[in-house]
């Protein structure tokens, strides 16, 4: 019977064991009766429970029962005393009935107990509360009977509940732990695991039960210590001899079984962890070698454009994202395996290392394949990017070549030709870069078979190789066509440069010839002071004319070259309509002016020569002047020369131009007049002797 079952009855305190003892060391059982009607059934249940607590050794010393009838009627007391015969007849040695001050009829009570003495089997005495110490020591009596023993019924009941709960839970827990631990000792591993699986978790927490037991034991030991000092004592069932050893024994057994149970749990946890790791490892390996590898098998292309390569890269990133989840599991598993290897048993090391090696091999191989695929797609993207840039450069170059050149001058042609050469050089560099990227990509594709998992990738690789080679060959052909067109355009532009150069030089020749004409009119003015100087001027003029002639011939040759270049370029030249007429017009003006200059110089030479001859002859040689015609001729030449100095040069177009300034011409005319005066004076001197001779 457990206290928790009859807790409401026990709380009524119908009977109790206070812990006190009689002089024979028997336990004192107290039955306090009250004014209210006492239920004999509940009292019987209470007595049965209380008498089940002491040990057999305690029971053998007998009980002293104190029936407190001070607040009850005699009939009730009598009934209780008679009930003791049926409940504890052998254990009761003495029944002390505490009577009230105004007690019942002495004759009746004495007669009843005396008559029933032999039948009851124990002695019943009537005693006042103050006379109870004759049979029991005061220290063994509670305060209700004038004793000093302290008893708290609710405290006892609570501790009793704790004790019984601990005893029940610990006993049940010991059975469960023993079943679990004994199951772990079975022969085969499968039987051991099956037994552990069926009874793996105990119904109560061992830690909680152990803690409760330690607290209970501490309480019992504390009360025993206090009791020895005469303080508060709780020993209703001789706890210092019974309860403590029982609790200690249960605690020892619990600790032993719990230690074994913890080891079983540790082994099971380790085994379970190992199995979970093995299961996860196989999940990772199966996925990587199954769906993961299949994803890579289906992704073999490199794309035929930047957009296609980018789409393949995006698809590959999705594949990598799926793989990264499994790689995260791999990292976690690797850490768990490493921890088990550091703290694992000898028997698990081989299996753990094998799992770790298998997992690492598969993951590293798959990671290498992913990296290889990523590098291949990146190389393909770079190849297509270079190819697209080169294609755009070739399109730009071709567009430039298809547009007809209409430059304004040679400088713009030179600039256009320089730009054309730069574009061609850029195309060369782009094609070289494309070849390098293509060769690098081909080298990577040739290594693709090393991770193909036995799959024949020859056909797929051939398509990729053909595509790459086709792109490079197409770019080479386009570049060659552009080079041919550049050669033609370069020749045409060089001819245009030469054409512009010829036109510029021809225009320059016209300018030079104009400058010569201007110099002839403005600076070639002097006619000389004598015949010798005039001859020198005439010779210089002829050389000057030769220079002008060379300039004119050079301009004519340049204009003829422009005609040939225009015919080659199939274009019209501005020289035929502008420069050539200008050249001819300036040359005609120069020719007319030069002829006038020559005529004047030649006239001046004749004038100076004749005048100097006349002026240098001596007067005593009259035979030299036998003809007066020479004087007339000099006068005529002088006048003619003076007249020419005042006449302008008339050009074929009717325009006129004078030599020098009027002051320059006046100075030259003045010199001629002075010389004519000298000749006239000479003539007069020669005539005077002729006049004086006849008179004599």
Question: What string of DSSP letters covers 441-459?
Answer: HHHHHHTGGGGSTT---HH
Q: Which distant-in-sequence residues (6+ apart) come within 8 Å of 279 by Cβ?
A: none
Question: What string of DSSP letters covers 625-678?
Answer: GS-THHHHHHHHHHHHHHHHHHSPEEPTTS-EE-SS-HHHHHHHHHHHHHHHHH
Task: Tell me what pLDDT residue 512 has.
Answer: 92
Q: Tokens 């019987």 sit at which residue?
A: 44
Domain boundary (131, 151, 171) is at 151
For residue 389, the cross-strand partners are none
**Residue 489: inside a domain, yes or no?**
no
C-alpha span between 374 and 316 (Å, rounded) = 7
Domain boundary (91, 118, 151) is at 151
Task: Tell me what pLDDT residue 237 has.
Answer: 45
Q: Which long-range contacts (CB under 8 A, 24 or more apart) does 331-340 make?
A: 333/277, 333/280, 333/281, 333/284, 333/359, 334/359, 334/360, 336/273, 336/277, 337/277, 340/270, 340/273, 340/274, 340/277
Angle at 340 between CA 338 and CA 342, to 5 degrees: 70
Residues 500 and 414: beta-carbon distance below 8 Å: no
**Residue 657: inside a domain, yes or no?**
yes
Domain boundary (83, 118, 151) is at 151
Q: Which distant-in-sequence residues (6+ apart) come within 8 Å of 287 by Cβ?
A: 326
Q: 482-498: buried (b, 16+ CB within 10 Å) or exposed (e) per residue? A: beebbeebeebbebbbb
**Residue 240: inside a domain, yes or no?**
no
pTM of the entire predicted model: 0.52
C-alpha span between 11 and 34 (Å, rounded) = 15
Q: How far apart are the first and last CA of the chain?
A: 215
**Residue 17: inside a domain, yes or no?**
yes
Residues 598 and 541: beta-carbon distance below 8 Å: yes
C-alpha span between 391 and 383 (Å, rounded) = 12
Short-list 518, 538, 543, 516, CA closest to 528: 538
What is the rounded radius of gyration, in angstroms, for the C-alpha atoms of the chain?
Answer: 74
Short-list 553, 559, 562, 551, CA closest to 581: 559
Task: Tell me what pLDDT residue 695 has.
Answer: 47
Short-list 208, 42, 43, 69, CA closest to 126: 69
Element (H, E) at 18: strand 16-21
**Residue 329: inside a domain, yes or no?**
no
Short-list 109, 144, 112, CA closest to 31: 144
**Residue 569: inside a domain, yes or no?**
yes
C-alpha span between 297 and 174 (Å, rounded) = 60
CATH number at residue 14: 3.40.525.10
Number of domains in the chain: 2
Task: Tell me what pLDDT residue 260 has.
Answer: 84
Domain of 118, in residue numbers: 3-151
For residue 16, the cross-strand partners are 30
C-alpha span between 429 and 426 (Å, rounded) = 5
Positions of the chain with pLDDT lower than 70, given as ranges = 88-90, 102-121, 184-200, 223-242, 344-347, 405-410, 448-460, 571-577, 617-629, 688-696
Query: CB 245: neighbour CB atoms within 10 A?
Result: 11
Short-list 187, 319, 180, 159, CA closest to 243: 159
Residues 113 and 77: beta-carbon distance below 8 Å: no
Secondary structure (3-state) at 65: strand
Angle between helices 458-522 and 531-569 (to 10 degrees): 150
C-alpha span between 475 and 438 (Å, rounded) = 12
**Residue 571: inside a domain, yes or no?**
yes
CATH number at residue 669: 1.20.58
**Residue 413: inside a domain, yes or no?**
no
C-alpha span between 29 and 67 (Å, rounded) = 8
């Amino acid at each position: 019977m457990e206290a928790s079952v009859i807790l409401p009855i026990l709380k009524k305190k119908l009977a109790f064991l206070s812990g006190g003892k009689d002089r024979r060391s028997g336990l004192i059982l107290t039955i306090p009766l009250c004014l209210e009607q006492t239920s004999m059934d509940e009292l019987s249940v209470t007595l049965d429970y209380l008498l089940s607590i002491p040990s057999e050794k305690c029971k053998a010393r007998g009980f002293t029962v104190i029936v407190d009838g001070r607040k009850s009627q005699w009939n009730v007391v009598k009934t209780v005393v008679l009930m003791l015969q049926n409940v504890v007849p052998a254990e009761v040695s003495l029944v002390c009935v505490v009577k009230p001050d105004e007690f019942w009829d002495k004759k009746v009570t004495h007669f009843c107990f005396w008559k029933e003495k032999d039948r009851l089997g124990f002695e019943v005495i009537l005693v006042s509360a103050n006379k109870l110490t004759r049979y029991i020591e005061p220290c063994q009596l509670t305060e209700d009977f004038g004793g000093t023993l302290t008893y708290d019924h609710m405290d006892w009941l609570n501790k009793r509940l704790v004790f019984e709960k601990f005893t029940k839970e610990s006993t049940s827990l010991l059975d469960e732990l023993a079943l679990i631990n004994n199951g772990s000792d079975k022969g085969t591993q499968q039987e051991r695991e099956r037994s552990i699986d069926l009874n793996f978790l105990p119904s109560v927490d061992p830690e909680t039960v152990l803690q409760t037991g330690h607290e209970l034991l501490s309480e019992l030991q504390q009360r025993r210590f206090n009791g020895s000092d005469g303080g508060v004592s709780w020993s209703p069932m001789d706890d210092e001899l019974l309860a403590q050893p029982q609790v200690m024994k249960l605690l020892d057994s619990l600790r032993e079984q719990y230690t074994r149970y913890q080891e079983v749990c540790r082994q099971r946890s380790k085994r379970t962890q190992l199995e979970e790791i093995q299961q996860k490892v196989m999940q990772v390996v199966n996925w990587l070698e199954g769906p993961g590898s299949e994803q890579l098998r289906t992704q073999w292309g490199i794309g035929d454009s930047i957009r296609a390569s980018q789409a393949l890269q995006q698809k590959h990133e999705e594949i990598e994202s799926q793989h990264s989840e499994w790689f995260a599991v791999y990292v976690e598993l690797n850490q768990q395996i490493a921890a088990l290897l550091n703290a694992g048993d000898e028997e698990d090391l081989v299996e753990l290392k094998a799992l770790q090696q298998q997992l690492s091999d598969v993951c590293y191989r798959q990671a290498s394949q992913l990296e290889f695929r990523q590098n291949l797609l990146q190389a393909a993207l770079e190849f297509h990017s270079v190819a697209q840039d080169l294609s755009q450069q070739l399109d730009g170059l071709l567009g430039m070549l298809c547009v007809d050149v209409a430059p304004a001058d040679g400088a713009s042609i030179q600039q256009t030709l320089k730009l054309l050469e730069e574009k061609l050089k850029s195309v060369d560099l782009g094609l070289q870069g494309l070849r390098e990227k293509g060769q690098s990509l081909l080298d990577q594709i040739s290594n693709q078979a090393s991770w193909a998992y036995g799959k024949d990738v020859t056909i797929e690789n051939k398509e990729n190789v053909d595509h790459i080679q086709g792109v490079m060959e197409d770019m080479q052909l386009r570049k060659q066509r552009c080079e041919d067109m550049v050669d033609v355009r370069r020749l045409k532009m060089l001819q245009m440069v030469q054409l512009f150069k010829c036109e510029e030089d021809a225009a320059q020749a016209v300018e030079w010839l104009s400058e010569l004409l201007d110099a002839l009119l403005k600076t070639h003015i002097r006619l000389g002071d004598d015949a010798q100087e005039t001859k020198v001027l005439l010779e210089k003029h002829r050389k000057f004319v030769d220079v002008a002639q060379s300039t004119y011939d050079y301009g004519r040759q340049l204009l003829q070259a422009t005609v040939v270049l225009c015919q080659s370029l199939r274009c019209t030249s501005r020289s035929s309509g502008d420069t050539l007429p200008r050249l001819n017009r300036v040359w005609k003006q120069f020719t007319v002016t030069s002829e006038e200059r020559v005529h004047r110089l030649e006239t001046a030479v004749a004038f100076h020569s004749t005048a100097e001859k006349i002026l240098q002859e001596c007067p005593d040689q009259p035979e030299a002047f036998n003809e007066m015609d020479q004087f007339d001729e000099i006068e005529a030449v002088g006048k003619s020369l003076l007249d020419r100095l005042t006449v302008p040069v008339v050009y074929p177009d009717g325009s006129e131009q004078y030599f020098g300034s009027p002051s320059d011409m006046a100075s030259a005319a003045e010199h001629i007049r002075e010389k004519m005066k000298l000749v006239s004076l000479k003539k007069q001197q020669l005539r005077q002797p002729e006049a004086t001779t006849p008179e004599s």
